[in-house]
A and B are shown apart, each in its own frame.
Chain A
Amino acid sequence: MKKENKKHLGRRQFLKKCAKAVCTGLLLSFVEFKNVWAKQVGNGDKSAERKYAMGIDIHKCIGCGRCADACKKENKVPREPHYFRTWIERYIVPIKGEPVVDSPNGGIDGFPELKGDKGILKMFFVPKLCNHCAHPPCVQVCPVGATFTSRDGVVLVDPKYCVGCRYCIQACPYGARYMHPEKHVADKCTFCYHRITKGLLPACVEVCPTKARIFGEVDNPTSPIRRFARLHTITVLKPSLNTEPMVLYAGAEGMVR
């Protein structure tokens, strides 16, 4: 009888300890629970906030393709012709009818010469890249929060976290994202985040021979992007979608999309 009692006591103690352990575990997990949800960081820290933007002057772009080439080299973007962080489109606007657009190999090798310009009203080049939207649809749809907006307004992808569901690629209205063929994760322009955080310019801006690409901090009154915005009439791509792009175009007509 005594033995049984002892045994009983032991079991009870054991159960008590178990219950304590479970309760402690539960409490701890509740403390950490709020950190589980994927969320944007840095919103509260306004002092550290810097908002970057890029300006593109359509009148200055000569379609040389150096920017797209430099981007591929700098960011190790696959050389195959269907993966681009930035590319250049050529708009050929006829006197009558819809404009014809092309972008052979993203404009890296230049553009084929037009034979005869009869019937052509005008022609211009439009560099394209991720618009680093203030309301990015890609960030909204990412199921795990692998794509996010950094505190300086740059939209980034964490390749170690991306599950490769491609929902962000579908949600991007600008075709700025692609599936990396080797890493099997979504990839896109980062404004050369590794460079700009060191005070350097993005590779595409650095190599542009005509200064068609301007880069800087929006909130800094002496920044080149502020001057660019002051001196030009600015438009953004697909404004009706309310994405609020941070890539600002000067001279882009309504037909550009």
Chain B
Amino acid sequence: MEPTIIQQAMMGFQSFSGYIYPNEYELQWSLLIVLYPYLTGLVAGAFILASLERVFRVTVILPVYRLSLLTALAFLIVAPMPLFAHLGHPERALEMLWTPHLQSAMAMFGFVYAWYLLVVLLLEIWFDFRKDIVMYSKNSRGLKKYFYLLLTLGSTDISEEALRFDNKMCKFITVMGIPSAFLLHGYVGFIFGSIKANPWWSSVLMPIVFLFSAIVSGIALMILIYMVTTLFRWKKIDMGCLNKLAEFLFYTMIVDFSLELLDFIHRLYESEESIHILSQLITNRLFVSLIVTQIFLGSIVPILGLIVGRFGKLPDELRRIVYFLSAVLVQVGIFSIRWNVVIGGQLFSKSLRGLTVYKVQLLGLEGLLMTVFLLILPLFILYGIVKILPPWTDSELEVHK
């Protein structure tokens, strides 16, 4: 009797099959490299969400505007860490900045990152919070006063004219920041999409798919963070804001899902030399992470959830639960996408004749524990940043009774 797809999937996790080049037994990019596009995606997504308020004047999402900026910063700080931890010679990492090879997509990482962190994100946050920082430095005492004074960078003028200038600058940086966010994550997609040796990666759609999945993950993350923070602050959730976020999440998910479907159909229709090994890859090695987790649990279920939550007639409490669960599933789905790209692309041989296996380590620099640590770390950093620069807008505050 022929083994079922699920049996094949189970067998697939246990052994090599077919022929793989001898140098391919060791997988080159591990769980940490799955984490890298996942984290940068969250950064780009959170920033683009923030820019909706600033540039496109979607004022209803004002409660998450500043929080999104700080979230983007917290995740951006952690984003290069998995890359450093993964290098064979981390001590030589800065050579990419000092002596970059300009033809290499990877060499651009330092510049894209520095641009995004220093020019876009930090500058925008500074201009946006400058008035608050000056007020804190005036109203605090002791070390705290000097700390905030340091953060003002000597610019303590909060006259109306100065604030108008801040506002203008903020808008200008955000306008610049949108293509920068596109660049940041589109670039990460390009790193994979430009590898012609790998038929699973090599696709012109890769940067665009990465970009939209980034926006999806960023919005879903902000829904989660907004809900959790309001809960812990004992405040009432602004349902108008939450509904709008869910709406945006739904629209971007439709675009993202359509793009992925297009990529899939295109590959199937072109049916190139690699199609046999790629179909084996999907039915055998990636069945759980692609069909079950990415497509079903990570895309279809949350899309249905968002339709019911946003457009159905539900009481607010139930609506919040539906949104929350959908956003959690979206995160699982997006992580699966990163896994399926990074790990999936290495599970078949470039001889196109065999499949290999990946065993996740528990300990060590590239292990599971390290990954979990790097996933949680941005949340702690965010907690710290929020303590220093509270992003809450007081008008929305209402004591939850």
Indicate if the CB atoms of B99 and A167 lie closer than 8 Å: no
At the interface, yes or no: B400 with Cβ under 8 Å from chain A? no
At the interface, yes or no: B28 with Cβ under 8 Å from chain A? yes
- In the complex, how many residues of chain A place their beta carbon closer than 8 angstroms to a beta carbon of chain B? 47
Q: Looking at the complex, which one of B103, B191, B346, B351 makes contact with A140 (CB distance below 8 Å)?
A: B103
Q: Looking at the complex, which one of A140, A144, A169 makes contact with B100 (CB distance below 8 Å)?
A: A144
At the interface, yes or no: B266 with Cβ under 8 Å from chain A? no
At the interface, yes or no: A165 with Cβ under 8 Å from chain B? yes
At the interface, yes or no: B19 with Cβ under 8 Å from chain A? yes
Q: Looking at the complex, which one of B90, B195, B353 makes contact with A170 (CB distance below 8 Å)?
A: B195
Residues of chain A contacted by B19 (CB below 8 angstroms): 89, 100-103
The minimal Cβ–Cβ distance linking A10 to chain B, given in whole angstroms, is 27
B61-112 contacts to A (CB < 8 Å): 83, 86-90, 92-93, 95-96, 98-107, 109
Chain B interface size, as a band, is 35 or more
- Cα distance A172–B92 in the bound complex, in angstroms: 22
Interface centre among A36, A39, A101, A257 (most CB of B within 10 A): A101
At the interface, yes or no: A93 with Cβ under 8 Å from chain B? no
Indicate if the CB atoms of A144 and B107 lie closer than 8 Å: yes
Residues of chain B contacted by A170 (CB below 8 angstroms): 28-29, 195, 197-198, 346
Residues of chain B contacted by A185 (CB below 8 angstroms): 88-89
- Cα distance A164–B86 in the bound complex, in angstroms: 8
Give the residue name and chain of the A residue nearest to B28 (CB): A166
- Knowing A163-B93, A179-B26, A184-B88 are in contact, say whether A143-B101 is a contact too (CB < 8 A): yes
Indicate if the CB atoms of A175 and B24 lie closer than 8 Å: yes
Indicate if the CB atoms of B22 and A106 lie closer than 8 Å: yes
At the interface, yes or no: B331 with Cβ under 8 Å from chain A? no
At the interface, yes or no: B267 with Cβ under 8 Å from chain A? no
At the interface, yes or no: B352 with Cβ under 8 Å from chain A? yes
Residues of chain A contacted by B102 (CB below 8 angstroms): 37-39
The minimal Cβ–Cβ distance linking A142 to chain B, given in whole angstroms, is 6
Summarize B's interface: helix, strand, loop or mixed: loop
At the interface, yes or no: A178 with Cβ under 8 Å from chain B? yes
- Cα distance A39–B107 in the bound complex, in angstroms: 13
- Cα distance A257–B272 in the bound complex, in angstroms: 15
- Cα distance A81–B103 in the bound complex, in angstroms: 34
Residues of chain B contacted by A84 (CB below 8 angstroms): 22-23
- Cα distance A38–B28 in the bound complex, in angstroms: 24
- Cα distance A142–B25 in the bound complex, in angstroms: 22
Indicate if the CB atoms of B109 and A143 lie closer than 8 Å: yes
A149-183 contacts to B (CB < 8 Å): 161-167, 169-179
- Cα distance A189–B20 in the bound complex, in angstroms: 19
Indicate if the CB atoms of A165 and B22 lie closer than 8 Å: no
B330-366 contacts to A (CB < 8 Å): 346, 349-353
At the interface, yes or no: A191 with Cβ under 8 Å from chain B? no
Indicate if the CB atoms of A171 and B195 lie closer than 8 Å: yes
Contact with B along A119-145 (1 / 0, CB 8 A): 000000000100000000100111111
At the interface, yes or no: B13 with Cβ under 8 Å from chain A? no
The minimal Cβ–Cβ distance linking B27 to chain A, given in whole angstroms, is 10
At the interface, yes or no: A83 with Cβ under 8 Å from chain B? yes
Residues of chain A contacted by B24 (CB below 8 angstroms): 175
Q: Looking at the complex, which one of B29, B90, B350, B353 makes contact with A173 (CB distance below 8 Å)?
A: B350
Indicate if the CB atoms of A164 and B89 lie closer than 8 Å: yes
Residues of chain A contacted by B107 (CB below 8 angstroms): 143-144
Residues of chain A contacted by B233 (CB below 8 angstroms): none
At the interface, yes or no: A87 with Cβ under 8 Å from chain B? yes
At the interface, yes or no: A48 with Cβ under 8 Å from chain B? no
At the interface, yes or no: B57 with Cβ under 8 Å from chain A? no
At the interface, yes or no: A31 with Cβ under 8 Å from chain B? no
- Cα distance A143–B25 in the bound complex, in angstroms: 24
The minimal Cβ–Cβ distance linking B41 to chain A, given in whole angstroms, is 20
At the interface, yes or no: B401 with Cβ under 8 Å from chain A? no
At the interface, yes or no: B313 with Cβ under 8 Å from chain A? no
The minimal Cβ–Cβ distance linking B98 to chain A, given in whole angstroms, is 7
- Cα distance A168–B109 in the bound complex, in angstroms: 16
- Knowing A82-B26, A166-B29, A179-B88 are in contact, say whether A172-B95 is a contact too (CB < 8 A): no
Give the residue name and chain of the A residue nearest to B104 (CB): A143
- Cα distance A87–B197 in the bound complex, in angstroms: 20
At the interface, yes or no: B387 with Cβ under 8 Å from chain A? no
- Cα distance A167–B29 in the bound complex, in angstroms: 9
Give the residue name and chain of the A residue nearest to B21 (CB): A175
Indicate if the CB atoms of A175 and B99 lie closer than 8 Å: no
Q: Looking at the complex, which one of B98, B196, B346 makes contact with A36 (CB distance below 8 Å)?
A: B98
The minimal Cβ–Cβ distance linking B292 to chain A, given in whole angstroms, is 27
- Knowing A38-B100, A141-B106, A179-B26 are in contact, say whether A173-B197 is a contact too (CB < 8 A): yes
Residues of chain B contacted by A102 (CB below 8 angstroms): 19
Indicate if the CB atoms of B351 and A101 lie closer than 8 Å: yes
- Cα distance A42–B95 in the bound complex, in angstroms: 22
Interface centre among A143, A167, A170, A241 (most CB of B within 10 A): A143
Indicate if the CB atoms of A165 and B26 lie closer than 8 Å: no
Indicate if the CB atoms of A178 and B96 lie closer than 8 Å: no
Give the residue name and chain of the B residue nearest to A188 (CB): B23
Indicate if the CB atoms of A38 and B99 lie closer than 8 Å: yes
Q: Looking at the complex, which one of A98, A101, A142, A184 makes contact with B89 (CB distance below 8 Å)?
A: A184
Indicate if the CB atoms of A163 and B89 lie closer than 8 Å: yes
Residues of chain B contacted by A166 (CB below 8 angstroms): 28-29, 88
- 21 A-B pairs with C-beta separation under 8 A: A36-B99, A38-B100, A38-B102, A82-B25, A84-B22, A87-B21, A87-B22, A102-B19, A103-B22, A137-B196, A137-B197, A142-B104, A164-B88, A165-B83, A166-B29, A170-B28, A174-B21, A174-B350, A175-B21, A175-B23, A178-B26
Closest 3 CB pairs of A and B: A164-B88, A175-B21, A184-B88
User: Besides A101-B19, A161-B92, 18 other CB < 8 A contacts?
Assistant: A37-B99, A39-B101, A82-B23, A98-B353, A142-B101, A144-B101, A144-B104, A162-B89, A163-B90, A163-B92, A165-B88, A166-B88, A169-B28, A170-B198, A173-B197, A174-B21, A178-B26, A184-B89
